[in-house]
């Protein structure tokens, strides 16, 4: 409790921290600063930003575990229209590991942020888009497109939308307050995110890249800039229509209890419910990008804290240390974090209402006190 209090003492926003160990809730903390609906509490829910990608990946892994999806199969096996534009060999694993070359929508036919709420328009645009680099040869973060790509695989295989599949197969069995596509009757529980920043100015970004010697007329550079601009403005997600939509790369809504409980059920039983078996967990967290670099010329950009991915999950790295090697989960813009460590039998969920984390500068300082305390506790237990 002291570590969490220290972590939040200089943060004017609110936060929640939850930890499961051996399938049991062992830490459940939250701040109590005022909100529009009274003091903040454990039942309030927040945008999880890219922690949503971990929810989305979990849905794909459930289908793979049931034998309905093959990681090594071409996406076009399940989504025939996807094969157009030179994408016929892109595999499900390529999509999950950010290797597909579809890190942005077609820069010659861009998709506005508001259009992300139109599922069929968005996935149709992705089906028509040509890869920005040779799939499988490099990787770059699919900040926005990841969710629609993986979500459409789920929809094509199962018939349910990604959000409905998550609700039925993950949230309901575990009793989670966790959604991709928030029902209207739950809207009153959402605490908006603050200090969300403003959108990237793509024209300014292009000028800076041009000054650095990049060819700003190339599809890759134009797509990269468009994706950065699309992903940067967290304030757009504070609107009801953005909560109601299914944007499975970044508009998940949950509390820390539900994030931690979901990850706990990935690595062991929680009240008799286990989502993934050990074989699936090990396949999902096996490194998929450590041997790859960003596609040229993006590999010229400074990357002091390189990204690492398994199949859909972010892996332990310098900027997101989690509980060290073996950890898997996902961070979210502004400081959200959810992950598990199977060998240490531990799962963690952390939400915050103030967007303060810049991963270019290392770990969120709000994580450090309670992470250290958790490490010490696990060490005393021999974990």
For domain 2-380, the CATH superfamily is DD-peptidase/beta-lactamase superfamily (3.40.710.10)
How high is the pLDDT of residue 227?
A: 87
Name which of 51, 337, 103, 356 is nearest 222 in CA terms.
103
Cβ atoms of residues 61 and 265 within 8 Å? no
Cα dihedral 102/104/107/110 (nearest 10): 120
Please determine, for residue 374, whether its predicted confidence score (pLDDT) is greater than 90. Answer: yes
Q: Which residue has the tokens 């190339």?
A: 218
CA dist., res. 259 & res. 352, Å (int): 13
Please give the structure tokens belonging to residue 136.
């499988």
Can you say whether residue 139 is alpha, beta or left, with left for phi > 0 and alpha for psi between -120 and 50 degrees?
beta
Name which of 242, 238, 231 is nearest 200 in CA terms.
231
- Work out the number of other CB atoms within 10 angstroms of the CB of residue 368: 15
- Higher pLDDT, residue 53 or 233: 53
How high is the pLDDT of residue 383?
A: 77
How many residues are there in the chain? 383
Share of the chain above pLDDT 90, in %: 87
CA dist., res. 378 & res. 307, Å (int): 26
Cβ atoms of residues 14 and 353 within 8 Å? yes
Name which of 342, 259, 350 is nearest 14 in CA terms.
350
What average pLDDT does range 342-357 have in this prediction?
96
Cβ atoms of residues 124 and 228 within 8 Å? no
What average pLDDT does range 29-34 have in this prediction?
97
Name which of 128, 141, 56 is nearest 97 in CA terms.
141
Q: Which residue has the tokens 């790509």?
A: 149
Cβ atoms of residues 363 and 321 within 8 Å? yes
Radius of gyration over alpha carbons of the chain, in Å?
A: 20
What b/e readout covers 90-99, taking b as 16+ CB neighbours within 10 angstroms?
A: bbbbbbbbbb
Please determine, for residue 360, whether its predicted confidence score (pLDDT) is greater than 80. Answer: no
- pLDDT tens-place string over residues 217-256: 999 999 999 888 877 666 689 999 999 999 999 999 999 9
Q: Is 257 exposed, middle or buried (0-12, 13-18, 19+ CB in 10 A)?
A: buried
How high is the pLDDT of residue 113?
A: 81
How high is the pLDDT of residue 226?
A: 87
Please determine, for residue 135, whether its predicted confidence score (pLDDT) is greater than 90. Answer: yes
Cβ atoms of residues 326 and 341 within 8 Å? yes
Cβ atoms of residues 61 and 312 within 8 Å? yes
Please determine, for residue 116, whether its predicted confidence score (pLDDT) is greater than 80. Answer: yes
Please give the structure tokens belonging to residue 252.
């998940």
Q: Which residue has the tokens 């994408």?
A: 87
How high is the pLDDT of residue 232?
A: 60
How high is the pLDDT of residue 299?
A: 93
How high is the pLDDT of residue 196?
A: 62
Mean pLDDT of the chain: 95
Cβ atoms of residues 343 and 282 within 8 Å? no
Query: H-type helices in 97-179, by residue range?
Result: 119-128, 145-158, 162-166, 172-174
CA dist., res. 106 & res. 48, Å (int): 26
How high is the pLDDT of residue 236?
A: 81
What average pLDDT does range 261-276 have in this prediction?
99
Q: Which residue has the tokens 């931690």?
A: 260
Please determine, for residue 197, whether its predicted confidence score (pLDDT) is greater than 70. Answer: no
What average pLDDT does range 374-382 have in this prediction?
92
Q: Model-level pTM?
A: 0.96
How high is the pLDDT of residue 32?
A: 97
CA dist., res. 55 & res. 252, Å (int): 8
Cβ atoms of residues 363 and 319 within 8 Å? yes
What average pLDDT does range 16-36 have in this prediction?
97
Please give the structure tokens belonging to residue 306.
């390189």
- pLDDT tens-place string over residues 285-310: 999 999 999 999 999 998 888 999 99
Name which of 368, 78, 47, 109 is nearest 233 in CA terms.
47
């Amino acid at each position: 409790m002291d570590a969490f209090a220290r972590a939040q003492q200089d943060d004017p926003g609110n936060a929640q921290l939850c930890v499961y160990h051996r399938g049991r809730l062992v830490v459940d903390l939250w701040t109590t600063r005022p909100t529009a609906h009274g003091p903040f509490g454990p039942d309030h829910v927040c945008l999880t930003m890219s922690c949503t990608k971990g929810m989305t990946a979990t849905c794909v892994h459930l289908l793979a575990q049931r034998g309905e999806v093959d990681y090594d199969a071409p996406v076009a096996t399940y989504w025939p229209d996807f094969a157009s534009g030179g994408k016929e060999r892109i595999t499900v694993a390529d999509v999950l590991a950010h290797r597909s070359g579809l890190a942005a929508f077609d820069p010659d036919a861009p998709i506005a942020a508001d259009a992300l709420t139109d599922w069929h328009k968005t996935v149709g645009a992705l089906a028509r888009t040509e890869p920005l680099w040779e799939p499988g040869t490099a990787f770059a973060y699919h900040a926005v497109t990841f969710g629609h790509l993986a979500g459409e695989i789920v929809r094509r295989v199962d018939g349910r939308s990604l959000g409905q599949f998550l609700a039925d197969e993950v949230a309901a069995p575990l009793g989670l307050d966790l959604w991709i596509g928030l029902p209207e009757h739950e809207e009153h529980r959402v605490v908006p995110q603050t200090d969300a920043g403003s959108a990237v100015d793509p024209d300014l970004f292009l000028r800076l890249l041009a000054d650095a010697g990049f060819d700003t007329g190339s599809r890759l550079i134009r797509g990269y800039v468009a994706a950065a601009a699309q992903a940067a403005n967290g304030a757009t997600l504070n609107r009801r229509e953005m909560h109601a939509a299914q944007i499975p790369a970044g508009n998940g809504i949950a509390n820390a209890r539900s994030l931690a409980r979901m990850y706990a059920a990935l690595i062991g039983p929680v009240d008799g419910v286990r989502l993934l078996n050990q074989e699936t967990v090990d396949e999902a967290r096996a490194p998929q990008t450590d041997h790859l670099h960003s596609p040229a010329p993006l590999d010229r950009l400074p990357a002091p804290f390189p990204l690492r991915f398994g199949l859909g999950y972010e892996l332990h790295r310098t900027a997101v240390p989690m509980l060290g090697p073996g950890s898997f989960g996902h961070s979210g813009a502004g400081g959200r974090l959810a992950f598990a460590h199977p060998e240490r039998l531990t799962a963690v969920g952390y939400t915050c209402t103030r967007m303060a984390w810049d991963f270019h500068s290392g770990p969120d300082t709000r994580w450090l006190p309670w992470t250290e305390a958790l490490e010490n506790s696990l060490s005393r237990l021999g974990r």
